[in-house]
Structure 1
Amino acid sequence: MLKGNFFHGLGYLGEGFRLIRQPGLRLFVVIPLVINILLFGVLFYFLAEAFSLLIATAMGWLPDWQWLQALDWVFWILYGVVILLMLAYGFVIVANLIGSPFYGYLSELTEKHLTGQEVDTGGGWGQILKDIPRALLREVQKILYYLPRALLLLIIGLIPVVNLVAAVLWFLFNSWMMALQYVDYPADNHRVSFGDLRRSLGAKRLSAFGFGLPVALAAMVPVLNLFVVPAAVCGATAYWVRERSSQA
């Protein structure tokens, strides 16, 4: 039986957008935001053509059945949604690889703002530099968790008829991954292992899906996805503070 509160989870991203406007947090929002803008420009340039090619290739694999060809627009939409979800999380992966040291510190400052208590991570710019290798290793752990599951869903999405459920599975998986991705920042600040984090989120899976759902949607919207990353970090920290305290 799934536990947690889906509707409570939905509110955390909105809280994150309110938090990133706080004076003490803005600097650690602006720096990765500039990085994301540059990154998004480069990715958009190279992926625009790749998107069309992937759609054409996927459609070419369909058998030459008349009823399938008559529904080609449905498959175009399904493949389009799946690819957009892949690109959305792909953007998040690359953005977080680059900005992870800043996001860890942003999460620390957000938790201090919410609780009034210091998070014992060392703090400061020196700590950000020291944490770069550990932060990158943590991002690699998430990528290794993501890739085999994404590959399995991609294979399912290429099977005619079965692929009708692929977009739904992708969306649920992306919602879960977004929760896992961002709640990992406050968890890492408290030295909670990646495995323990997965189990903690799994114990309140409905809350996790509620948080991850709007993040996954926002990550698919150009321009908005530039701002959703720092907002998701702050929202995930609020999730960590409130959901963990309710588990205690």
Structure 2
Amino acid sequence: MRDLGAGFGHLLKGQRWVARHGKSYGFGLLPGLITLVLYAAALVALALWGADFVGWATPFADDWSSPWLGLFRGFLTAVLFALALLLAVLTFTAVTLLVGQPFYESLSERVDRDVSPDGIAPESDLPLWRELWISGRDSLRVLVRALVWGVLLFACGFIPVVGQTVVPVIGFFVTGFFLTEELASVALQRRGVELRDRLALLRSRKMLVWGFGTPLGLAFLVPVVAVFLMPGAVAGATLLARELLGEETREGAGDHDPAGDVAAGPVISPAPGPSAPGPSAPGPSAPGPYGPPR
């Protein structure tokens, strides 16, 4: 239970950090706004021409009598729009992170410099195009895993009582886990931690991850809310990544402008969990020290 509170604490600290650093917050809003406009345009287009598409895709029903033709195609149009909306919710974070890779990379580095005792942030030696490729590839792999969980939970939803009580709760925790992975990947990828090792690392502190990602996932069900919370979520995920890796963090960090001098302060070192790694993250070619993926 302590880790649950700590995870939620990182979420709040991230929002407070961007609230104190207005320029970073405004900078971090741009990718979410761009993605929101693109998604809104796609949904509007689907609402306007979705019925035409369904009609084109179901020529076998052209000769059906009224009202069956209208009911059938109206139902398919509604299902198509509902699926598109669900897909938009599931992919919004991943697409926003992909669009905003340079923005969030810069924001995450500023957080690292601000909270690090020596004012130094880990940096990636990879070119931007390579980082974008890795980010897109890993996001797709995570999305596939999330969809598999979604299908399983959807099937379990038909179980009487359990499907209407337990399954939705499990669904929120699953969403929180994968959402945290997507957000923490900004800081962890910069440290050279591969997807396989990231997933194992997050599994080693599930309560911490759920405390951060589950309430955020509930808020992210509304994409407009996600736009305004995204910069703080990236900042909070950077703090969470530092705790997962056992990196030292200054107490009271984030109260000053990281562009200025790094104020000296007492150093706290979060105790890693029983399966958490030491302070150094593995390089891209290093063997995964966290055990095989489950």
Q: Note whether the superposition's TM-score is higher than 0.5.
A: yes
Aligned residue number for residue 97 of structure 1: 98
1:210 matches 2:211? yes
1:117 matches 2:120? yes
Shift in CA distance, 136/86, structure 1 to aligned 2, threshold 3 Å = closer
Contact 1:85 1:170 in 2 (8 A): no
CA distance in 1, matches of 2:111, 2:45: 35
Aligned residue number for residue 34 of structure 2: 35
Q: Which has the higher contact order (CA 8 A, sep 6+)?
A: 1
CA distance in 2, matches of 1:48, 1:213: 31
Aligned residue number for residue 228 of structure 1: 229
1:7 matches 2:5? yes
The structure that has the greater radius of gyration is: 2
SS in 1 for 2:211: helix
Number of positions where the alignment pairs a residue of Structure 1 with one of Structure 2: 219
Runs of at least 5 residues in structure 2 that lack an aligned partner in the other structure: 51-73, 247-269, 273-277, 279-294
Aligned residue number for residue 253 of structure 2: none
SS in 1 for 2:122: coil
Contact 1:85 1:220 in 2 (8 A): no
Aligned residue number for residue 191 of structure 1: 192
Contact 2:29 2:227 in 1 (8 A): no
Instruction: Report the more deviating stretch, 38-47 or 136-145.
Output: 38-47
CA distance in 2, matches of 1:84, 1:244: 36
Identity score, percent: 26
Runs of at least 5 residues in structure 1 that lack an aligned partner in the other structure: 58-79
CA distance in 1, matches of 2:222, 2:13: 19
Aligned residue number for residue 45 of structure 1: 44
CA distance in 2, matches of 1:129, 1:139: 15
Aligned-pair CA distance for 1:174: 0.7
Report the TM-score, using the length of structure 2 for normalisation. 0.63
Aligned residue number for residue 25 of structure 1: 24
Aligned-pair CA distance for 1:151: 1.9
1:140 matches 2:143? no
Report the TM-score, using the length of structure 1 for normalisation. 0.73
CA distance in 2, matches of 1:129, 1:231: 25
CA distance in 1, matches of 2:163, 2:85: 15
Q: How does 1:30-179 map to 2 (within 5 A)?
A: 30-42=29-41, 45=44, 88-115=89-116, 116-122=119-125, 127-159=127-159, 161-164=161-164, 165-179=166-180
Aligned residue number for residue 62 of structure 1: none
The answer to which structure has the higher helix fraction is 1
Shift in CA distance, 28/189, structure 1 to aligned 2, threshold 3 Å = farther
